[in-house]
């Protein structure tokens, strides 16, 4: 399958043959597994304080023939507060899970292993499948990207030398991505309790730029909301299918296509 190679003016100057990897079968199940396995490595272990719910003077009162025994008083035999406690706390239960301010029955533990594994061949197959998805127009549009041209988009290597954000935006408009730029510029307030936890706003995921060498494009494109820049040798399934959803709108440089073919 051949696609056009655009120059910086947005006009096709040549055609290039896509590697066979772009014609592979799209396996959404493998893509989902690979993304989840990759993101699991970023999961930070967490757990409760080992003394949480145990910092109390309460002690067991179920002894027989004891001064403060609970035997025969129709009360549950659990650690209780007594002594100079206020009336509402006197003989109040503590420490046990079913008691007020008691410990948690099964708290999260830091030794839990969050990392998920995936076979090497499955991971490679997932990357190939994700690359095939970016070359499927129906899959790209299904993901929500607003672009009516042919995919993937291939540009000449001079694109890597752009050093200003306005030049990148101007180029994207020339190849017909005005609606896509408008889509990724929208910022919505998240619904739910997440607003209080440092993620108040939600933004759309935009185009991905795949290059072979950074000559200024990384700094120029980072200010465009929703876009990412990655080298062809470092490309992963997380870049091609963020959120486990395959079909991200991707812009390749001519040399990046050749590198993927190798």
Domain boundary among 113, 136, 171: 113
In Å, what is the CA distance from 32 to each residue of 38, 129, 154, 244, 258?
A: 10, 11, 26, 5, 27
* Together in a domain, 200 and 168: yes
Number of domains in the chain: 2
Domain boundary among 113, 147, 169: 113
Residue in 12, 26, 5, 10 with CA at minimum distance from that of residue 240 = 26
Strands 12-17 and 2-6: antiparallel
What is the structure's pLDDT at 82? 83
Note the pLDDT tens digit of each residue in 170-209: 999 999 999 999 999 999 999 999 999 999 999 999 999 9
Beta strands in the chain, from DSSP E residues, in sequence order: 2-6, 12-17, 153-155, 187-189, 201-203, 208-211, 228-231, 250-253
* Residue-number span of the structural domain to which 82 is assigned: 44-113
* Together in a domain, 87 and 196: no
- Model pTM score: 0.85
* Together in a domain, 189 and 59: no
Mean pLDDT across 221-247: 96
DSSP state of 231: E
Distance of CA 245 to the CA centre of its chain: 11
* Together in a domain, 105 and 153: no
Residue-averaged pLDDT of the chain: 94
């Amino acid at each position: 399958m051949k696609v056009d190679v655009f120059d910086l003016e947005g006009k096709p100057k040549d055609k290039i043959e896509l590697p066979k990897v772009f014609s592979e079968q799209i396996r959404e199940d493998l893509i989902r597994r690979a993304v989840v396995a990759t993101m699991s490595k970023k999961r930070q272990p967490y757990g409760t304080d080992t003394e949480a719910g145990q910092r109390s003077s309460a002690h067991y009162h179920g002894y027989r023939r004891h001064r403060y025994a609970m035997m025969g008083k129709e009360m549950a035999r659990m650690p209780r507060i007594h002594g100079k406690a206020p009336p509402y706390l006197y003989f109040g239960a503590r420490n046990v899970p079913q008691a007020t301010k008691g410990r948690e029955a099964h708290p999260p533990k830091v030794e839990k292993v969050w990392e998920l594994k995936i076979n090497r061949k499955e991971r490679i197959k997932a990357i190939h499948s994700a690359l095939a998805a970016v070359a499927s127009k129906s899959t790209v549009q299904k993901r929500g990207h607003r672009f009516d041209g042919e995919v993937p988009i291939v540009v000449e290597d001079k694109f890597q030398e752009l050093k200003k954000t306005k030049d990148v935006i101007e180029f994207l408009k020339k190849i017909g991505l005005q609606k896509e730029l408008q889509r990724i510029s929208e910022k919505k307030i998240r619904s739910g309790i997440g607003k209080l936890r440092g993620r108040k706003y939600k933004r759309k995921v935009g185009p991905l730029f795949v290059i072979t060498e950074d000559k200024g494009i990384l700094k120029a494109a980072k200010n465009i909301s929703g876009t990412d820049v990655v080298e062809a040798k470092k490309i992963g399934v997380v870049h091609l299918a963020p959120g486990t959803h395959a079909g991200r709108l991707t812009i390749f440089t001519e040399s990046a296509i050749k590198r993927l073919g190798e």
